[in-house]
Structure 1
Amino acid sequence: MTQRRMPRPRDFRPLVRFRKPRLSSTRRRLEAAVTIHDLRDAARRRTPRAAFDYTDGAAESEVSLARARQAFNDVQFNPSILRDVSKVSTGWEVLGAPVAMPFGIAPTGFARLMQTEGEIAGAGAAGAAGIPFSLSTLGTTSIEDVKAANPTGRNWFQLYMWKDRERSMGLVERAAAAGFDTLLVTVDAPVAGARLRDSRNGFSIPPQLTLKTVANAATRPAWWFNLLTTEPLSFASLDRWPGTVAELLDTMFDPTVDFDDLVWIKDQWPGKIVVKGVQNLADAKKLAGLGVDGIVLSNHGGRQLDRAPIPFHLLPDVVREVGKDVEVHMDTGIMSGADIVAAVAKGARFTLVGRAYLYGLMAGGRAGVDKAIQILSDQVIRTMRLLGVNTLEELEPGHVTQLRRLAPREVD
Structure 2
Amino acid sequence: MSEIQKAGTLQKLLKPCHDATVRRWTQRLDKCFTISDLKSLFEKRIPPVVGDYFLGGASDERTLRENEAAFERTRFAPNYGIRYDSIDTSTTVAGTKVSMPIIAAPVGSLRTVWPHGEAVAAKAVGEAGTICTLSTLTGTRLEEVRAASPHDCWFQLYLVGGQEVATKAIERAKKAGYTALVLTIDTPVAGLRYRDMRNGSSQAINGGLLQKMRFAPQMSRHLSWLTSYYHDGGLMDFPNIELPGGEPMPYADIGNQLQKAAVTWDDIQWIRDAWQGPIIVKGVHTLHDAQKAADVGAAAIVVSNHGGRQLDRVLPTLDALREIAPHMKDRNIDVLMDGGIRSGGDVAIAIARGAKAVLIGRAYTFGLGTAGHAGVSKAFSILRSELEHTMRQLGCASLAELDESYLRDSRV
TM over 0.5: yes
Residue 272 (1) aligns with residue 278 (2) = yes
Contact between 2:185 and 2:262, CA under 8 Å: does it hold in 1?
no
1:181 aligns to what? 179
Structure 1: any 5+ residue segments left out of the alignment? Answer: 1-22, 406-412
2:198 aligns to what? 200
Matches within 5 A, 1:91-130: 91-130=90-129
1:296 aligns to what? 302
Contact between 2:352 and 2:406, CA under 8 Å: does it hold in 1?
yes
Distance 1:154 1:235 in 2: 22
Residue 79 (1) aligns with residue 85 (2) = no
Contact between 1:161 and 1:253, CA under 8 Å: does it hold in 2?
no
Structure 2: any 5+ residue segments left out of the alignment? Answer: 1-21, 242-247
Deviation of the 1:141 alpha carbon: 0.8
> Could you tell me which amino acid in structure 1 is paired with residue 46 of structure 2?
T
> Could you tell me which amino acid in structure 2 is paired with residue 385 of structure 1?
R
Deviation of the 1:268 alpha carbon: 2.1
Matches within 5 A, 1:19-38: 24-38=23-37
Q: 1:117 to 1:242 in 2, by over 3 A?
A: closer
Residue 234 (1) aligns with residue 237 (2) = yes
> Could you tell me which amino acid in structure 2 is paired with residue 398 of structure 1?
S
Of 152, 159, 166, the residue aligned with 2:157 is 159
Contact between 1:64 and 1:310, CA under 8 Å: does it hold in 2?
yes
Deviation of the 1:266 alpha carbon: 1.9
1:222 aligns to what? 224
Q: 1:255 to 1:270 in 2, by over 3 A?
A: closer
> Could you tell me which amino acid in structure 2 is paired with residue 221 of structure 1?
L
Contact between 1:217 and 1:224, CA under 8 Å: does it hold in 2?
yes
Distance 2:347 2:239 in 1: 31
Deviation of the 1:163 alpha carbon: 5.2
Counterpart of 1:25 in 2: which secondary structure? Answer: helix
Aligned Cα RMSD in Å? Answer: 1.8
Distance 2:144 2:259 in 1: 25
Distance 1:266 1:351 in 2: 24
Q: Hey, which of these two has a bigger chunk of helix by percent?
A: 2
1:390 aligns to what? 397
1:12 aligns to what? none
Counterpart of 1:222 in 2: which secondary structure? Answer: helix
Of 319, 322, 343, the residue aligned with 1:313 is 319
Identity %: 37
Distance 1:161 1:323 in 2: 31
Counterpart of 2:270 in 1: which secondary structure? Answer: helix
Matched positions, count: 379
Which structure is larger by alpha-carbon Rg, 1 or 2? 1
- Provide TM-score, normalisation by structure 1: 0.88
> Could you tell me which amino acid in structure 2 is paired with residue 130 of structure 1?
G
Q: 1:335 to 1:207 in 2, by over 3 A?
A: farther
Contact between 2:237 and 2:251, CA under 8 Å: does it hold in 1?
no
1:14 aligns to what? none
Matches within 5 A, 1:369-388: 369-388=376-395
Deviation of the 1:260 alpha carbon: 1.4
Cα deviation 1:349-377 (Å, max 9, x = unaligned): 01000000110011111111111111111
Distance 1:335 1:275 in 2: 23
Distance 1:178 1:324 in 2: 33
Contact between 1:284 and 1:295, CA under 8 Å: does it hold in 2?
yes
1:364 aligns to what? 371
Distance 1:118 1:53 in 2: 17
Contact between 1:117 and 1:365, CA under 8 Å: does it hold in 2?
no
Q: 1:264 to 1:240 in 2, by over 3 A?
A: closer
- Provide TM-score, normalisation by structure 2: 0.88
Counterpart of 2:64 in 1: which secondary structure? Answer: helix
Q: 1:122 to 1:207 in 2, by over 3 A?
A: farther
